Structure 1
Amino acid sequence: MAYVATLISNPSAPALTYEAIHAALAVLPQAQDPVVLEDGVAVDIHFAPELAADAGALADAVRGALGDAPIDVVVQLETGRRKRLFLADMDSTMIGQECIDELADLVGLKAHVSAITERAMRGEIAFEPALRERVALLRGLSASVVGDVLRERITLTPGGPELVGTMKANGAYAALVSGGFTLFTQEIAARIGFDENRANELLVEDGTLLGAVAEPILGRDAKLATLVELRDRLHLAPSETMAVGDGANDLAMLGEAGLGVAYHAKPAVAAAAHARIDHGDLTALLYMQGYSRSEFRTA
């Protein structure tokens, strides 16, 4: 069977040298000449092992050959690389922050809430009760501060608009699926160009947060269910889907996707996902689908 290894570095600090490419070629059986996706940033190396290969083991072998070079490696079958359904987590994935931590900062509790968030994202505590506990601490906060947080504190992860725009331009459907809050996902989805967004609803009365979230909570199981629902609605095969996230509540969704990508993720998530991006930005998800820089679009 034919496979492809994609080597990816961060576009803001290109690190893909001739030496790195040569090191990868040396460990891949029957490797062909590299296909440059962007000079210094990303290449595809097509190769053909004699027997059915373990993509994860091959990726680890290439990483070993690269040493400590800041280069991500994704190995997969050549066929079916370009996906038609894309699901993405929001906090610390499509944006650089955890929204609930930023809200907590306004009431002087960021350190406390961030510690709970970190434990939940590592899978050390269950997501749903951890969310209820954190939201309760926001009781009495004016709902108007959400707009302030969005304007002053929230930044889009580099490559996000290109990722969604390029996939949509090539016929994919994109959904933002977050364990965060609709007050944030609605705005972020519009900025980036997602087709739809799903998240939890913060309960508000007379313009004030009640310190509670509507039930049932959108967590790990709901993210998985959303992937299956959209896949079936669009009449797609599992192999035609891609998902990205960074936390433990993304694991089921990443595992069900045809290509599940752990993005700058917690260790357990990175270890379990089909692919991991530790160095690149979100354009890495385009390079692993075989897109070259000249094909990038924004929504």
Structure 2
Amino acid sequence: MFVATLIAAGKLTDEVVREAIDRLDATGHDVGAPHWLDEHDAADIVFSGSLVSARAELAKMDHGALDVVVQPLGDRTKKLIIADMDSTMITVECIDELADYAGLKPQIAAITERAMKGELDFRAALAERVGLLAGMDAAVLDECRRERVRLTRGARTLVQTMKAHGAHAVLVSGGFMPFAGPVGEAIGFDKMIANELEIADGKLTGKVLDPVVDAGAKLETLNAEAAAHGLPLADTLAVGDGANDIPMITAAGLGIGYRPHPAAADAADAAIRHHDLTALLWAQGYSRRNWVLG
């Protein structure tokens, strides 16, 4: 059995739900009655048939504010979340914002964009960008975090709700610990993993210390944390936006692209393009009455 969750906060109508049912029915799926998670916000449709076919068919629905998550029904409430930070749990790319303090934002942001699209090797792109920041006063890291970093709407509610229901939460970032540490604490993550910048005499040297947190490290974190908590990967959720998130997204029980670049969207089980991170609570079957508001 599978479940399709339709999400259109405040805009989900009976007609849209009916269209989804009709599309599934017309493509040979055995469809049950719909169930409102929260009326006019999110609804579940349970069905049997083909997961791949259902995803392809429901992706054709053209309603501007609609996100759709289709997944197996039995293990939808996840016990481990592994999340990217930049442009996922926060609204910015930290290295691009740091670059602005050095007058290099257009140059570095262009490299970031290409890396997130999968057009550049992540490690090489990271080394190039950090190298351009050599000589920056280390105090700018905290200044940038205070002035530029904002949590993505719904981040705290997502993590706090999952933790209240027994889940473990890990933030794993190809960014930097001076950002990931405070961000992770503010949201409520149990563990934060990110790159460490080399600092000498109070200034950035332009180097990243080993081990580098890249796509492989994110996947390793997912596998290690699942094993540490005795969880099958089916009980895990991974969310990110860029190409370096693809291995963990594809390995997790539910892999979500959050406002993703095309490569990540193609790899993910579902893409959240219109809603904040609380969409991932509806995707797991949580009604608003069960949310822990952050």
TM over 0.5: yes
Distance in 2 of aligned mates of 1:82 and 1:252: 21
Deviations 1:83-137 (A, max 9, x none): 1111000000000100000000001100000000000000001000100100011
Q: Is structure 2 residue 32 aligned with structure 1 residue 32?
A: yes
Say which SS state the counterpart of residue 260 (structure 2) adopts.
coil
Distance in 1 of aligned mates of 2:85 and 2:247: 16
Distance in 2 of aligned mates of 1:102 and 1:57: 41
Distance in 1 of aligned mates of 2:89 and 2:173: 10
Say which SS state the counterpart of residue 88 (structure 2) adopts.
helix
Task: Quote the residue 1:17 is aligned against.
Answer: 13
The equivalent position to 2:137 in structure 1, one of 118, 128, 142, is 142
User: How far does residue 298 in structure 1 lie from its aligned partner after superposition?
Assistant: 4.2
Say which SS state the counterpart of residue 218 (structure 2) adopts.
helix
Q: Is structure 2 residue 45 aligned with structure 1 residue 45?
A: yes
Say which SS state the counterpart of residue 93 (structure 1) adopts.
coil
**Superposed counterparts of 1:1-299, under 5 Å:** 2-9=1-8, 11=9, 14-28=10-24, 29-49=29-49, 53=50, 55-64=51-60, 66-298=61-293
**Residues 184-193 or 15-24, more deviating:** 15-24
What one-letter code is carried by the residue in structure 1 that aligns with 2:34?
P
Distance in 1 of aligned mates of 2:293 and 2:202: 35
Structure 1 residue ranges (4+ consecutive) displaced by more than 6 angstroms after TM superposition? none
What one-letter code is carried by the residue in structure 2 that aligns with 1:3?
F
Indicate conservation of the 8 Å contact 1:56/1:75, yes or no.
Answer: no
Say which SS state the counterpart of residue 73 (structure 1) adopts.
strand
**Residues 89-98 or 229-238, more deviating:** 229-238
Say which SS state the counterpart of residue 136 (structure 1) adopts.
helix
TM-score normalised by the chain length of structure 2: 0.95
Indicate conservation of the 8 Å contact 1:15/1:69, yes or no.
Answer: no
For these two proteins, the number of residue pairs brought into alignment is: 290
Say which SS state the counterpart of residue 92 (structure 1) adopts.
coil
Say which SS state the counterpart of residue 21 (structure 2) adopts.
helix
Stretches of structure 1 that go unaligned for 5 or more consecutive residues are: none
User: How far does residue 63 in structure 1 lie from its aligned partner after superposition?
Assistant: 2.9
Deviations 1:195-220 (A, max 9, x none): 00000001112221111110231101
Percent identity over the alignment is 48
User: How far does residue 57 in structure 1 lie from its aligned partner after superposition?
Assistant: 2.6
Deviations 1:31-85 (A, max 9, x none): 2332212222211111233xxx1x2331221232x32432011111110111111
**Residues 29-38 or 281-290, more deviating:** 29-38
Distance in 2 of aligned mates of 1:141 and 1:298: 38
* Cα RMSD, aligned residues only: 1.2
Distance in 2 of aligned mates of 1:119 and 1:287: 32
What one-letter code is carried by the residue in structure 2 that aligns with 1:216?
P
Distance in 1 of aligned mates of 2:164 and 2:177: 25
What one-letter code is carried by the residue in structure 2 that aligns with 1:113?
I
User: How far does residue 164 in structure 1 lie from its aligned partner after superposition?
Assistant: 0.2
Deviations 1:265-290 (A, max 9, x none): 01111011112111121111111110
Deviations 1:3-46 (A, max 9, x none): 1110012x4xx321222111111122332332212222211111
What one-letter code is carried by the residue in structure 1 that aligns with 2:139?
S
**Residues 163-172 or 33-42, more deviating:** 33-42
